[in-house]
Amino acid sequence: MAVTIPRFALRSAESGRRLDLFLVCAVASVIGNRVFLIITGYPQLGNGTLHISHAIWGALMMAIAIIFAISFLAPNNRTFIAFIGGCGFGWFIDELGKFITRDVNYFFQPTIALIYFVFITMYLVFRGIGRREYTADEAVLNGLEALKAATIGELGEPRRRAALSLLDTTGADDAVARQVRTMLADETGLPNPRPNRFERAGVGVRDWYLRLTTRRWFTSAVTWWFVVVGSLQLVAAVALSLDHRGIHGFEEWATVISSGVSGALFVVGVVRLRHHRLSAYHWFERGILVQIFVTQVFEFAQEQLGAIFGLGFNLLLWIAIRSMIRAEAERELVTGSLPAAS
């Protein structure tokens, strides 16, 4: 039975990337704000009567994101909306302790863990949004979005091919779909891309990465990094499990076991790297996500604020892997094949 999708819920093919940006900006805002407050000794903006909470600034940024979404045409503003909205949400949710305690206690101990669970829930919801197959209506609308980008010189080749692929995959074949497919397929009929400086920077970094992957030492470096990290985590987990006198309580057991699982996923990725780079990167991402969504949860339960820095490092690693996955996927779209990492 076909699933009926509400007309207000038709998805963008690039929603996953923008939702990731929103979430990363939100998490980074919480981390950055807390580190800044620790370094500066928790300064307050106001006087003896007033205190201008950073939740207010967060609400202002979210309002700016909503105003931009309502007032200005897509597609050239959505990345900015995801960025400013994510930063604003991070500043807002960082004040959660004040909102849930009678004494308005910013330092309420479970707050960081609660914020962390909010981010986990958001990530799972975001993944659920993109997991369902796209419909023909969504494919046509995304094709029209690509054409809108072309009119202002912001349609790159990977996105053009992705829009065509989505039309083909969904079997969109009404009159509008055929017109959109014809216009997207005619490269000579589309305006030449005129990317802005941020897009040029992104394309430059992506091209640099693709050139980098053609060098043999790159695969060796990636392999050895995850071999070392994965092996250390796996060996440490096994050793601690066999000699468990130093492990006390459920949280420590959960940390050790999840760290071992993460290491095992890294090792699987290393094995896959010799044959299929994109598949290997997905295994690496799974290992990092286990670290973020399981290991870090229990580290927060034990260390609270001290676990923020481990989360920050894992987030940076996850951003790097996601960028590499996107670059490899775009290479596959453009070339029609994905090179092995030999």
Report the predicted TM-score, pTM, of the whole model to 2 decimal places. 0.75
What was the pLDDT predicted at 12? Answer: 87
What was the pLDDT predicted at 2? Answer: 46
What was the pLDDT predicted at 34? Answer: 80
Joined together, the tokens standing for residue 337 give 């094949």
Q: Does residue 146 contact residue 159 with C-beta atoms inside 8 Å?
A: yes
What was the pLDDT predicted at 90? Answer: 92
- The whole-angstrom separation of Cα 87 and Cα 99 is 19
- The whole-angstrom separation of Cα 65 and Cα 59 is 10
Domain ranges across the chain = 9-42+53-131, 136-194, 215-332
Parts of the chain with a pLDDT under 50: 1-3, 338-342
Give, in order, the Cα–Cα distances in Å from 33 to each of 38, 90, 108, 288, 318.
9, 9, 16, 24, 20
Give pLDDT tens digits for 5-14: 566 678 888 8
Q: Does residue 156 contact residue 331 with C-beta atoms inside 8 Å?
A: no
What was the pLDDT predicted at 1? Answer: 41
- The whole-angstrom separation of Cα 58 and Cα 19 is 18
What was the pLDDT predicted at 338? Answer: 44
Joined together, the tokens standing for residue 137 give 């209506």
